[in-house]
Amino acid sequence: MSTTKTLLADDHALIRAGLRDALTNLPGIEIVGEVGNGPELMQALADQRPTLLVMDVNMPDFEPVAAVQRIKAQHPDLKILVVSAYDDQSYVVGLLGAGVDGYHLKDQPLSDLQLAVQRILDGGRWISDPLVNRLVDQHHSPPEPSTPLTRRQRELLYLLTQGYNNQKIAWVMDLSVKTVENHLTALYRAIGVESRLEANNYAGKHPEVLLTPEEDSQSRTDSRTESLNVLLLDDNPRYRAQLAKLLAKTWPQASVHEADDCQEAVRLAEQVKPRLAFIDVVLKEEDGIQCARRIKVISPATLMVLISAYPDREFRRIGLNAGAVAFLDKKDIDAATVRQVVEDALAR
């Protein structure tokens, strides 16, 4: 019986070991190599000439869709099975369109991975069960956004239509990946969708809302002369001072008003009607999200940015549902993040 020369590609050695253990139990499978990044993968394909490639789509120096198209052009008979933790439909649709033969989720049973390999080696295709219903429903039309998209959201939506993953978007927008994830959550909420695929469908029906990076650069230049009032609510005076300094450095036109408790923040909100407010979620004996709601009643035009040293998903969900425009991990707040939050505020 002929053997199937198999190449494993994943930037985590433990994952590769798990794949190797799973696949060596299949008859006729021969693991001929393991790689952990894009250049190593391309070299191994040329050297080993495998029959089957089992790979993750998120590796260093690897742009998934473009790379798969190039691999398929150079090795048309190669079978490709993507094994990924990402369950986003845009990856699935984009990679299947580029030429992969299957998309398997890492959290699915080991027996399913073995079945996936057998299926594609027999000439079929494979998609993990949890993804099937979403793909069937991909033509669902999301509702119109209740409020206009910010400049940042319009640019983010454009980058999604280009098939960029979060790492590539972070590089283009000069943000951390976690900040991109926060912006994506806010964008999905604004346009009433739950995934990249649905966001792409929305963009296809509303191309007028898209903003290219070049257009965004010009609009940011035009907004540089604007000023705004900013409220900072944090009971840690050291961190509050650091954030105030960062604001002053990145946006000299900002007038910063500091508060260390909700009562003081509410008083300042009544007095200055801030355009933007940074509010810590966890305050001494106080709920920052509830305080944000109080400030919103007093100053409806204030844009709330929740910040936390404990970036809990539930905090983020509750905060965004309460009307916050962003939820930022304190560790990720740098000059670029502050600048872009301010630019978004001025663009509304």
pLDDT at 225 over 80: no
Beta-bridge partner residues of 328 = 307
Q: With contact defined as beta carbons under 8 Å apart, do 348 and 192 qualify?
A: no
CATH of 225-347, one of 3.30.450.20, 3.40.309.10, 3.90.1300.10, 3.40.50.2300: 3.40.50.2300
CATH of 4-136, one of 3.40.1010.10, 3.40.190.10, 3.40.430.10, 3.40.50.2300: 3.40.50.2300
Q: Mean pLDDT highest for which of 44-48, 195-199, 343-347? A: 44-48
pLDDT at 72 over 60: yes
Q: Smallest Cα–Cα separation from 32: which of 55, 13, 49, 56?
A: 49
User: φ, ψ for residue 300 (rounded to 5)?
Assistant: -60, -25
* pLDDT attached to residue 223: 47
Mean pLDDT of the chain: 83
Q: What is the CA radius of gyration of the chain?
A: 24
* pLDDT attached to residue 83: 92
Q: Which residue ranges does the chain devote to CATH 3.40.50.2300? A: 4-136, 225-347
Q: Give the C-alpha separation, 22 to 9, whole Å.
A: 14
Q: With contact defined as beta carbons under 8 Å apart, do 13 and 45 qualify?
A: no
pLDDT at 55 over 90: yes
Q: With contact defined as beta carbons under 8 Å apart, do 347 and 152 qualify?
A: yes
* pLDDT attached to residue 65: 81
Per-residue burial over 133-158, b if 16 or more Cβ lie within 10 Å, else e, is ebeeeeeeebeebeeebbbbbbbbbb
pLDDT at 146 over 50: no
The alpha-helical segments, DSSP class H, found in the chain are: 13-23, 38-48, 64-74, 89-98, 110-121, 129-136, 151-161, 166-173, 177-191, 196-205, 213-222, 237-250, 262-272, 288-298, 313-321, 335-347
**Domain at 151-217: CATH architecture:** Orthogonal Bundle (1.10)
Q: Which whole number is the average pLDDT over 288-312?
A: 86
Q: Which whole number is the average pLDDT over 20-33?
A: 91
- Under the banding of pLDDT at 50, 70 and 90, the label for residue 265 is very high
Q: Give the C-alpha separation, 109 to 116, whole Å.
A: 11
* pLDDT attached to residue 43: 95
Q: With contact defined as beta carbons under 8 Å apart, do 61 and 38 qualify?
A: yes
pLDDT at 218 over 60: no
pLDDT at 347 over 80: no
Beta-bridge partner residues of 258 = 232
Q: Give the C-alpha separation, 7 to 45, whole Å.
A: 8
* pLDDT attached to residue 88: 67
Tell me how crowded residue 208 is: count the other CB atoms within 10 A of its CB: 6
Is 135 or 161 the better-scoring residue by pLDDT? 161
The helix (run of H) or strand (run of E) holding residue 258 is: strand 254-259
**In the chain, pLDDT over 70 holds for what percent of residues?**
87
**Cα angle at 41 between 35 and 45, to 5 degrees?**
115
Q: Which residue ranges does the chain devote to CATH 1.10.10.10? A: 151-217
* pLDDT attached to residue 216: 56
